[in-house]
Amino acid sequence: MRTPHIQTHPSARSDGPATERVPPSRNPYDELASLADDPLDDLLADDATGTRRDDDSEEPWTPPNHRRGSRRRNRATGLPTIVRLLAWTLTLACLVTLADRWALLYAEHKASERLKDELDLAAAPEVRIGGFPFLTQLAARRLDSVQVTVPDIPAQRVTLTQVTADADDIRIDGDGPTAVRGALVRRMHGRVLLSFADMNRELGASQVAFTAHGPGSVRARGSLRIAGRDLRVRADTRIRRDGDRGIAASVDGMRLDIGDLATYRPGTGPTEGLHLTRASARRLTREAEKIKAFLSIPEIVHRLGVPDGAVRAALHDEDRLHRLTGAPRFLHRLTRVNLVDAALAHPRLLERLGLDLSLLTALTKLTRPQIADRFSFAFQLPKPPAGDLRLQRVTVGKDGIRADVSASGLLLGH
């Protein structure tokens, strides 16, 4: 048998003095084995060497308390029961609330339809029943409060923009929300609004606009076409209460402006008729030929209240004419003269002043009631079948005419 030849590293040779040896390479499995050593070996080694462990590093051992654990388990098992109970309670409350709100909406809808039919309204009113819950009120046959809003109620020539009523202490006659036969309203307070926008559309026909003119008056401003000419119209309307349930308007202060030349007020009073404006009267006194033609008419001189001798002297002397016509008193008297009769008797005078005879003829035929009818209106609240309904206070505001309404003992639906 041959002896195997073992090759050694050159650095592992023993020849030479004190040569350093290289340690062999370490096995990686040995390192893993060292990491997997049992920790109990270290503990036994410490005890064997007499090393003392720190007693304060760990709590002393105590026996387990089985009663405490049982109480924890009871609480844990009882928690889902409480949650389920709360969930069922909340669900039931939601269902009851939904049923109450559904019954409320149904009752409001039925009341709206019934009011529309009984009052013969063009649109169904808006009904809001107050108080919560509704079903308990219905069971007691008594409602805490009800609000009704009715839009656009025809009232003769005008339309009431809105009527709002708040009723308290309502007694119900019925067996449920679907079987309500009627109601007794003990107290009610309401408000009526007639807006200027509706008045402009219905009375003004886009030619006349209505605005507030004080707490109880309405001013109308616009234009009217007469004899082919557009004349500015002005009128003041006084608002008053007509009885317990009505509102009426009386028109006064009417006038038609013919440019800046003259003003026509229908009627036979001293301030009514056809009058020159102050601007046109001043222009007339500055034109000698026109003022002489004006003073040559006896009817006008008589209405001016100027002595005949002074007039004859002024017609023959320019200085006296200027002194007479330039006085402020004469100018004021000139604007007070009614030119209707004089102008009809002397049509050429109209031509000198710039007035058209056909326009004056049309104005004289336009009577005061005909003009007043364009701006007057009235309305009456319906009379209830039972109870008391009346208007309280009527005022004029920025947006229109408002009136307060009160009622008691109203019987509805019977």
Which of 19-28, 60-69, 271-280 shows the lowest per-residue confidence on average (mean pLDDT)? 19-28
Q: Does pLDDT of 25 surpass 60?
A: no
Per-residue model confidence (pLDDT) at position 194: 92
The Cα–Cα gap between 80 and 86 comes to: 10
**273-276 and 229-242: which strand pairing?**
unpaired
Q: Does pLDDT of 17 surpass 50?
A: no
Contact 188, 410 (CB under 8 A): yes
Indicate the Cα dihedral angle 177, 182, 187, 193, nearest 10°.
Answer: 90
What are 361's two structure tokens? 């003829």
Mean pLDDT of the residues in the chain? 79
pLDDT in tens, 65-98: 555 544 554 554 556 788 888 888 888 889 888 9
**158-174 and 217-226: which strand pairing?**
unpaired
pTM to 2 decimal places = 0.65
Residue type, 348: R
Indicate the Cα dihedral angle 108, 113, 115, 120, nearest 10°.
Answer: 160
CA angle 174, 176, 182 (to 5 degrees): 30
pLDDT in tens, 319-366: 999 989 988 899 999 999 888 877 777 777 777 778 888 888 888 888
Q: What percent of the chain has pLDDT over 90?
A: 14
CB atoms near residue 251 (< 10 Å): 20
The Cα–Cα gap between 222 and 200 comes to: 10
Q: Average pLDDT, stretch 135-151?
A: 87
Q: Does pLDDT of 2 surpass 50?
A: no
Query: In the structure, what pLDDT confidence band is assigned to residue 128 with cuts at 50, 70 and 90?
Result: very high
Per-residue model confidence (pLDDT) at position 405: 92
pLDDT in tens, 213-269: 888 899 999 888 888 888 999 989 899 898 888 998 888 878 999 988 999 998 877
